[in-house]
Amino acid sequence: MKFDFKLVGKVGSMALINKERDDIDYNVIAKISRELAPGMIWVTSGATEIGRLDYIRRNGAELNGNRDQNKADYAAQGQSILMQTYRQYVNFKYSLRQVLVEHLHFNDEEKLDNLKKLFLRCPKQNAIPIVNYNDAVCYEENRRLEIQILKSQKNDVVQGVDNDETAARISTLVKAETLLILTSVEGIYQNPKDPSTLIKEIGGKDVYELIQNIDGAKAMCSGASREGANGASAKLEFIKEPAKLGTRVIIANSRYRISDILSGAVPRTLIATR
């Protein structure tokens, strides 16, 4: 099977934050950045939380206005910090390209085609796309209304506000060999409260059995790493489409090197047909 990209990866907000210091975990971003190369697409969360922490550091308190407006303001402040940090550690030989997406980019055929062409140009131009949801301009109330209208027009509607979904959709769009989702845990657990129950592999002899086993793992999942996140069950739902197309999916902890995760040298959950 021919794949256009070696890797589509995603890291969650909480995996990028050092909770003890209430700051960016520069070690995590540095470790990720040093392994990024053309032929990869990196989907990063974190702009809103990083912007919030930066605002507090500079002003001594959080914003106290409208929740949606606060989120937009934090995201706008955090985006520049996030990209600057990736740029600091990515090999200087490679170009970085920030790509801010919204649900409409995935639900409009022309926009989706333009997005795909942008991604496909990047490896040829020695560039790495860094993707995030465009929280700075997409208000929750408007998004819900637009999604509702889209759902009345077609069945398969991408909401995109969860970067797990964004990464999975991009992986499907560009035919990625591997979809890597980095989190603050080792992978998928039979019992989320017991680290010894890590599910090392979810497989199947064919796509039908694989999807059946993914659904079985979903039934054991509960909880999320932060308010507003959808948790492990949502991750497993989002990765079904790329898995159907032959993409191997890996869920692992962000503290590990990408190369070690891909090789199986560290704990992880691998999802693929056998």
Instruction: For residue 145, give Cα distances in angstroms to 100, 103, 139, 189, 245.
Output: 20, 12, 10, 35, 31
Per-residue pLDDT reduced to its tens digit, 161-209: 588 989 999 999 999 999 999 998 999 999 888 989 999 999 999 999 9
| CATH number for the domain harbouring residue 71 | 3.40.1160.10
Using pLDDT thresholds of 50, 70 and 90, give the confidence band for residue 153.
low
Using pLDDT thresholds of 50, 70 and 90, give the confidence band for residue 104.
confident
Total domain count, the chain? 1
Using pLDDT thresholds of 50, 70 and 90, give the confidence band for residue 107.
confident
What is the percentage of the chain residues whose pLDDT exceeds 70?
A: 88
Report the pLDDT averaged over residues 39-50: 95
DSSP class per residue in the chain: ---SEEEEEEE-TGGGEETTTTEE-HHHHHHHHTT--TTEEEEE--HHHHHHHHHHHHHSS---S-HHHHHHHHHHHHHHHHHHHHHHHS-TTSEEEEEEE-HHHHHSHHHHHHHHHHHHHHHHTTEEEEEEE-TTT--HHHHHHHHHHHHHH-S------SHHHHHHHHHHHHTEEEEEEEESSSS-BSSTT-GGGB--EE--SSHHHHHHHHHHHHTT----SSTT--HHHHHHHHTHHHHHTT-EEEEEETTS-HHHHHHT-S--EEE---
Using pLDDT thresholds of 50, 70 and 90, give the confidence band for residue 136.
confident
Using pLDDT thresholds of 50, 70 and 90, give the confidence band for residue 224.
very low
pTM: 0.89
Per-residue pLDDT reduced to its tens digit, 213-223: 999 998 887 54
Higher pLDDT, 97 or 66: 97
pLDDT above 70 (res 150): no
Per-residue model confidence (pLDDT) at position 148:
62
- Tell me the Ramachandran region of residue 202: left when phi exceeds 0, alpha when psi lies from -120 to 50, beta otherwise: beta
Tell me which residue range forms the domain holding 189: 5-271
Question: What integer best gives the mean pLDDT of the chain?
Answer: 88
Per-residue model confidence (pLDDT) at position 133:
86
pLDDT above 60 (res 246): yes
Per-residue model confidence (pLDDT) at position 135:
80
Report the pLDDT averaged over residues 233-249: 93
